[in-house]
Structure 1
Amino acid sequence: MSPLSSDDLHAIREELNAGTTPVVWFTGSAVGVPEGRSGKVIALNEPAEGDFIQVRPASSKDVLSFSVAELTRVKPARKKSAPDPAPAKASTKARADKPAPEAAKPASGAASAPSTVPAAKSQTAAAAKSQTAAAAKSQSAAAAKSQTETTAKPASKPASKPSEAGATRSKSRQSKPAVNGATVTLTADSDGQWSVEVSTPRKRVVKPTQVSANAVQQAARLLHEDVSAAVEPVIEAAREQHRARVEALRAELEAAQAALEELDD
C-alpha cells in the first residue's frame, strides 16, 4: 500500500477544516496497529514532520501520533477465503459408499446358484469397508476440529484487548526524550531592563519574560567569565543611568522643597 502523499495531506487538511474526520488505513510500517486496520484523522500538527498525524484507530478510544509512511488513503482489498474442501470429501465418500454393480446373471439356471454366494460376500465386504472408512473419516474430522480449536484459542486472546496495544504505543511515544535542543536568549533594552526567552526548533517555550538585572549578573558569573565580562558593561551603564536620574530627581525635589518653604514664609 502506498503511503500518504502531499496531495493526500492537503485533502485531509481540507476535510478537517470542513468539520469532517477523514478515514485512513494503516500500512505494514505502522507500529502497534495491525496492517489494513482503519482509523479516523483527528488533527494534523505543525510542522509536517515526524509523527505529526493524530489518528484514533477503529474500536479504540486512544488518539495516537503517526507518520505519513504508516498511513494510506487506499482501502485494502479483502482477503479471499480458502475454498471448502468438504464437497470433494463428500463426493469421495459417495463413491466409497456406492455399492458395486451386481454381477451379470448367468445364462442358464444351473449356473445361477453357485454365483449368488460370491455376490453376497462381495456386498458384505463392501459394506464393511464403507463403515470402516466412515469411522476413520469421523475420527479424522474430530481430531482436525480439536486441533483447530486449540490453535485458534490462544490467538484470540491478544485481539480482545486492543486498548493495551494502543496504551503501550502511546506510552512509548510520550516517553521519547527531546533531542532537538533549546535556545535561551537574554535581552536588555535601552532603559537597562532585562528579559529572557526560551525556544526550540519547533516552537517558543517561554515568551519574553522580564527578569532583574541582579539575577542576570549572578547567572552570567556562574556560566563563564567571558559571559560575565560581556554582561557587566551593560549592567554598569544601566546603573549609571539610574544614578543620574536619582540625582536629577533629588535636585528637583530640593528645589521644590525650597519653593514650598518660601511660600510658607
Structure 2
Amino acid sequence: MAKAKQSLSPEDLDHLRAELDAGRQPPVWFTASAVGMEAGKSAKVLALTDPPEGDFIQVRPTGARDELSFSPAELTLEKPAPRKKEPAPPPPPPVATPAAETSVEPTPVEHIYTPEPPPKPKPAAKPAPKKPARGVEVTVTLNSTADGEWTVDVQSGSKRTLRAAPISAALVAQAARSLLPEVHEAVEGVLAAAREKHLARVEQLRSELEAAQRALDELSE
C-alpha cells in the first residue's frame, strides 16, 4: 500500500519562505486532499500571504498560467516516485487457419445448341421529299410619256431581258382590259389624257391648215 504524502509542516513553510526571500520559486506537489488537482502533480510556489490561515499559499501548477491558492494540507515537499510502466499486454493467440476445403469438380452440363433466328430485314429508308422548285419571278413595267408613247421593261429574276422596248397604245389598252379593273382604270386614264392632247393638237393644225388654204386661195385669184 502506497504511503500517503505528508502535508506541509511549519518547518516546510519556513523553508518555502526562505526560498522565496532568496528569489527562487520552490517546487511543491499536490496531495490527494487538493481540490480540483491530480495528486502528485507539481507546482511552483509564488508567495505566502499573511496571515498564514486557510488557503494562503499561492502556486502556479505546471503547464498552467493561473495563480491558485491552497492550504498546507493540500501541498507537500515530497516528490512522488515515478510511476512504473505497465507491462505490455501479451500478444493475442494465433488464429487457427481453417483447413482448405476439398475442391469438388463441377458436373458437366450438356449444352444443346439453339440457332438464333435470322435478323429481321431493316425497312428501306424513305426518300426525302423533294422541295418544290421555286418559280422565277418576272416583273413587267409599262412606262408612258406625256405624248402617249409607251415602252415596256421585262426583268426575269435578277436579269433584265427587255429594256425600254416601244409598244403601241392599242396593245397596252388591250392588255389592260384583261387585267384587274384597277390596272385598266389607271391605263385608261393615261390614254384619255393622251387623246385629249392629240385632239387639241389636231384642232390646232386644222385651223392652221384652213388659214393657209384661204391665204393660198386669195393668192390664186
Q: Same fold (TM over 0.5)?
A: no
TM range (shorter): 0.3 to 0.5
Q: Which has the higher contact order (CA 8 A, sep 6+)?
A: 1
- Which structure dedicates a bigger proportion of its chain to helix? 1
Normalised by the length of structure 2, the TM-score is: 0.38
- Which structure dedicates a bigger proportion of its chain to strand? 2
Answer with 1 or 2: which has the greater Rg: 2
Normalised by the length of structure 1, the TM-score is: 0.32
